[in-house]
Amino acid sequence: MNTQNRLYRSSTSLIATALALATLGAAPALAGGVTAGTLIENTAVASYEEAGIARNVNSNTVTVRVDELLDVTLTSLDPGPVTARPGDAVLTFELTNQGNGPEAFRLLANTAVGGNDFDVTLRAIAIDSNGNGTYDEGVDEILNAPETTAVLAPDAALTVFVLVTVPDGVTDAQTSNVDLSAEAVTGSGTPGTAFAGAGVDGGDAIVGNTGALATARGALVNAIASVALVKSVVLRDPFGGTSAVPGTIATFTIEARVSGTGTVANLVVRDAIPAGTTYAPGTLTLDAAPLTDAADGDAGTGSDADGIAVTIGSVTAGTSRAVTFEVTLDQ
């Protein structure tokens, strides 16, 4: 093998090895690979003997600047359809810069999705400024049109809130979908599309596998829960019958029936003691469980002057709770 062939093969092998090492170890592992703008430099070295004298020779240095890869993912963070009633509601998403360079993303919400039972009105798109994952009015940043994120570092994630208003007139269990799209500001398109000079440090920006465009869907379900109170009475007179005479004990039952979907909150049942009767202390119950009359740790209070009050709290639609108490017809 002549000297020129030995030099060529040695140089080629060294370049290939250096490039592989640079790809694996020159930068932290990112979703998009080596960080955009990274310079991968390599100089080959060959050794040989000439007339019995050992000599070395260096190749020219080859420099490769890593181009910017444009990639993005977008997912809904809501575990299922958001339960909503007419009025304001919030959908939550996560946007991740899957590229290898810093990039901002333009956001667009579509509220008129085909197949919706009703369409919501878009109020705004907001960014989770304090990172708590919950929309905080007056704290989280509202994006102005065109709604665009700040520049995100590679692998950085951002929580995005889509603020909507559910219209009046929707009926129970109707649903509505909202699509949120995120597009790289530098550009999007078919994977492999190049934007010359638009990348980091004047390098090219190349569209990755996601097309630099992602869409995620959030959903709302209109939940209308209503409460019906059904009150009944059972009489027990002093003679073992059911007549309403002085001394008769009247047992009242108030059943709170919750229908529709969703949950009602802060449910409290109250009733006044009827004129001509006296409250029977110690007879107040909730679902047959005794309650004390005093304002203490349990859910109930009862007295002649103030009547009865039972704080039930949250009740899921499709269930009912029963309050009972007794009075005696005055003699």
The tens digit of pLDDT for each residue in 81-106 reads: 998 889 999 999 999 999 999 999 99
**Among 180, 164, 181, 182, which Cα is nearest to 118's?**
164
Q: Residue 156: what pLDDT?
A: 95
CB 46 within 8 A of CB 7: yes
Q: What percent of the chain has pLDDT over 90?
A: 74
φ/ψ of 5, rounded to 5, equals -65, -40
Q: Residue 20: what pLDDT?
A: 36
Q: Residue 33: what pLDDT?
A: 72
- Least reliable range by pLDDT among 37-51, 111-125, 146-160: 37-51
Q: Please tell me the distance from the alpha carbon of residue 301 to that of residue 288, in angstroms, as a whole number.
A: 15
In 10 A of CB 316, how many CB atoms? 11
**Whole-number Cα distances in Å, 197 to 209, 265, 327:** 20, 58, 87
Half-sphere exposure of residue 147: CA atoms within 13 angstroms, side-chain side: 20
Q: Residue 65: what pLDDT?
A: 76
Model confidence over 179-193: pLDDT tens digits? 999 999 999 999 999
Q: Please tell me the distance from the alpha carbon of residue 74 to that of residue 110, in angstroms, as a whole number.
A: 15
What rounded mean pLDDT belongs to the chain? 89
264's tokens = 């009602």
Which residues, 6+ apart, have CB-to-CB distance to 225 below 8 Å? 258, 259, 260, 261, 262, 263, 264, 317
Q: How confident is the model at residue 39 (pLDDT cuts 50, 70, 90)?
A: confident
pTM of the predicted protein model: 0.65
Whether residue 142 is predicted with pLDDT greater than 70 in this model: the reply is yes
Q: Residue 14: what pLDDT?
A: 36
Q: Residue 299: what pLDDT?
A: 95
Q: Residue 13: what pLDDT?
A: 39
Query: Which range, 72-76, 82-86, 169-173, has the best average confidence (pLDDT)?
Result: 72-76
In 10 A of CB 163, how many CB atoms? 20
- b/e burial code for range 185-206 (CB count within 10 A of at least 16 → b): bbbbeeeeeebeebbbeebebb
Q: Residue 32: what pLDDT?
A: 55
Query: Strands 68-70 and 205-207: what pairing?
Result: parallel
Q: What mean pLDDT do residues 71-82 have?
A: 95
Q: How confident is the model at residue 40 (pLDDT cuts 50, 70, 90)?
A: confident
Model confidence over 219-274: pLDDT tens digits? 999 988 889 999 999 999 999 999 999 999 999 999 999 988 878 889 999 999 99
CB 308 within 8 A of CB 301: yes
Stronger pLDDT, 89 or 26, i.e. the higher one: 89
Task: For residue 30, give the amino acid letter.
Answer: L
